[in-house]
A and B are shown apart, each in its own frame.
Chain A
Amino acid sequence: MAKTLKVGDRELELDEDGFLKDPSQWDKEVAEAFAREEGIELTDEHWEIVNFLREYYQQYQIAPMIRILVKEVGKKLGPEKGNLKYIYKLFPNGPAKQACKIAGLPKPTGCV
């Protein structure tokens, strides 16, 4: 049985890794539903990251290089937060596996 995510009265299909099968179905409610499943309460700081991931993905069709994400977080939330540790604090399972999932991006695959 394929995995699904319940968002309001919608039932969205997920891939084997629990990511959205159809990334175009993403909206803010989807992000909140994913976050609830992962035990994360989305704060403004989380949203800064999620929004950046979305913007980058819409422009480049892939998740940003980690270094780009870290720098962007530093710019938006202050230099003391521009580090991987801070991102892991917000998304304990990491930017690729967790932040990308919540932001509705496909899971990066390859040697990662």
Chain B
Amino acid sequence: MGEQLEKMYDVELKPGAGENYVCNLTKPEFAEVMATDIPKEPLPDHEMVPVALKKLDQMRKERKSVQLYLDICVRCGACIKQCHYFIGTGDPKNTPVGRAELLRKVYRAHFTISGKLFGSLVGAQKLTPEILKNEWYKYFYQCSECRRCSVFCPYGIDQAEITMAGREVLNSVGLAPKYVTQVISQVYKHGNNLGIPEPAFKYNCQFLEEEIKESTGVDVKIPVDKEKADILYLPPSADLFTNTDTMIGVAKVFHAIGADWTMSTYASEAANFGLFFSYDDLKTINLRVVETAKKIGAKLVIFGECGHAWRAARQFMEAMNGPLPFKFMNILEFTADLLRKGKLKNIDKSRNDDVVVTLHDPCNYARAGDLVEETRYIIQQVCNNFHDMDPSVTKERTFCCGGGGGLLTEELMELRMKGGLPRATAVKEVVEAHGVNYLAAPCAIDKAQLPLVMQHYNIPVQVGGIHDLVGKALILEGQEEFEAKKKAEEEAAKAAAAAVPAVCGLCDAEFASMDECCEHAEKEHKISKEQCDMACESKEGAGAAAVPAVCGLCDAEFASMDECCEHAEKEHKISKEQCDMVCESKQ
């Protein structure tokens, strides 16, 4: 481990530092359309506690993992320094065990015998509206559910399960964040997180088709709403908004193998914010995908570069929405497989020689999606320069970008930057050691969050996807001919420009011959032919006094036209006949 990373773990304690970070509350119109039944606004205080306790009881009974994790934690603290929000803020409540303790103390008081008998002696505390509003609502939205703590827990406790249960309890009393409910409501209305309406979605795809055509000369299709297709592709909708190079890379891959694929405006989003909010919404959002795949007869559903989408699909779709009449996989598995089998034939790695790449493992790929080798394999197949970060912070030990878990919202910006510190520190090390200038981040949340983090910590890297790199290196059929033709045309145009024989030195007008140029000068600028000399121009036209003549080829100045002409003849081998005042040859 490098010195900077090592030092990062020395965290100065700042109790209460996290108390200022709180998510804006949902608007009633968003709360109303959630699949899970939640009040439109926070319940009055006297109603909160019984409703919350009922929900908590339901959670622990329905989710065996929650009950187990509530009971078996021995508070050893192994998780504390592994949490990016703790490292960034120093707030002891902002640790995996500290956050879970906010719920465990209530659980003990209401649901365990020792807690009921001995109360605070055994760390039990009865639930109050203040605990819900000031502790749970603040701190359960300062966990990005990245699950790094679970890797370091000797019992394997996944504190994110407790965060998720805690958030469901908060929903039941109307303490829900606007960012998450708005995004989910946009999925229900428009099929995607960004709320891109159908006409705009289709226009965006057409626009990208034209962009590919302009740069490659190849008709690559980005199909939307085909009635039948073998493959249903789900992009993060940000790939149709900001991360368009990722979308282009994916479209090129499908084109190269002649895939029968489509996207759908009903399910135009890979992401599933239900994972950050409620099982009911998680299931409902996944259902849109399942219904669409069935309708179009897809044999394969492919999820785009999006971390938590992959977890929502891989760990929940079959269980919640199955049995599924199709297979599903991640685009990174798909492309890696094509590369392994040699199906993407024409790859020119040198087209990525302008970048030195490192990889950020999205938390949900690495710790919930079994997706750590394919990412590296693809990068190394399409790039010559790749350097991994320190092994203590890659693969299943990867650090969160600081914006996952439903926290990618403006009001949490300060917390997001603090939470991004560990990732930034690791990136800085490879930038300094290897000159890394491209941070590959195959997840839409990363692509939004990491550029801000890198800017915040002054780390000069570009953030982009993996398929952005694939798209650059993958040469399509017909592309090389197009590029050769384009290059020839550009050179011809350049030569043609150079061939323009005369340009007026006073107004840049172009002429086919010197004579025409002189006529123009005489008429428009009132300059007599006598004053003219090829490649020599007066800076002030006819009335030039101070510097009567300047050589048009080398800017040398002369006291008289005659001297200038002599210079032109000697130095530039131009005869006096070729000279005419204010007309200069581009040669």
- Measured between beta carbons, the chain B residues less than 8 angstroms from A7 are none
The 8 A CB mask of B390-416 against A (1 = contact, 0 = none) is: 000000000000000000111100000
Given A66-B242, A66-B244, A67-B211, check contact A112 B194 (CB 8 Å): yes
- Measured between beta carbons, the chain B residues less than 8 angstroms from A2 are none
The 8 A CB mask of B194-226 against A (1 = contact, 0 = none) is: 111101100110011001000000000000000
The contact sample of 14 A-B pairs, CB cut-off 8 A, is A16-B24, A66-B241, A67-B208, A107-B410, A109-B179, A109-B186, A109-B409, A110-B192, A110-B193, A110-B237, A111-B306, A112-B194, A112-B242, A112-B448
Asked if B238 is at the interface (CB within 8 A of a chain A CB), the reply is yes
Question: Of B194, B207, B271, which is within 8 A of A68 by CB?
Answer: B207
Asked if B178 is at the interface (CB within 8 A of a chain A CB), the reply is yes
- Measured between beta carbons, the chain B residues less than 8 angstroms from A65 are 204, 207, 240-242, 244
**Consensus secondary structure, chain A interface:** loop
Whether A16 contacts B411 by the Cβ 8 Å rule is: yes
Rounded to whole angstroms, the CA-CA distance of A16 and B177 in the bound complex is 12
Rounded to whole angstroms, the CA-CA distance of A67 and B206 in the bound complex is 12
Interface, chain B (partner A; CB < 8 A): 24, 178-179, 182-183, 186, 192-197, 199-200, 203-204, 207-208, 211, 236-238, 240-242, 244, 271, 306, 408-411, 444-445, 447-448
Rounded to whole angstroms, the CA-CA distance of A16 and B411 in the bound complex is 8
Rounded to whole angstroms, the CA-CA distance of A23 and B408 in the bound complex is 24
Asked if A77 is at the interface (CB within 8 A of a chain B CB), the reply is no
Which residue of A is nearest B447, CB measured? A111
Whether B199 contacts A60 by the Cβ 8 Å rule is: yes
- Measured between beta carbons, the chain A residues less than 8 angstroms from B447 are 111
Asked if A79 is at the interface (CB within 8 A of a chain B CB), the reply is no
Rounded to whole angstroms, the CA-CA distance of A61 and B196 in the bound complex is 8
- Measured between beta carbons, the chain B residues less than 8 angstroms from A60 are 197, 199-200, 203
Whether A62 contacts B203 by the Cβ 8 Å rule is: no
Whether A68 contacts B182 by the Cβ 8 Å rule is: no
Given A61-B197, A67-B207, check contact A111 B271 (CB 8 Å): yes
Asked if A37 is at the interface (CB within 8 A of a chain B CB), the reply is no
Which residue of A is nearest B204, CB measured? A65
**Consensus secondary structure, chain B interface:** helix
Q: Separation in Å of the A6 CB from the closest CB of chain B?
A: 22
Rounded to whole angstroms, the CA-CA distance of A110 and B306 in the bound complex is 12
Which residue of A is nearest B178, CB measured? A16
Rounded to whole angstroms, the CA-CA distance of A109 and B406 in the bound complex is 12
Nearest 10 pairs of A and B residues by beta carbon:
A110-B193, A111-B444, A110-B194, A60-B200, A111-B238, A16-B24, A67-B244, A65-B204, A111-B445, A62-B200
Whether B207 contacts A109 by the Cβ 8 Å rule is: no
- Measured between beta carbons, the chain B residues less than 8 angstroms from A61 are 197, 200
Rounded to whole angstroms, the CA-CA distance of A44 and B445 in the bound complex is 35
- Measured between beta carbons, the chain A residues less than 8 angstroms from B306 are 111
Asked if A92 is at the interface (CB within 8 A of a chain B CB), the reply is no
- Measured between beta carbons, the chain A residues less than 8 angstroms from B238 are 110-112
Given A16-B411, A112-B448, check contact A62 B197 (CB 8 Å): yes
Whether A110 contacts B203 by the Cβ 8 Å rule is: no
- Measured between beta carbons, the chain A residues less than 8 angstroms from B196 are 62
- Measured between beta carbons, the chain A residues less than 8 angstroms from B208 are 67
Whether B200 contacts A110 by the Cβ 8 Å rule is: no
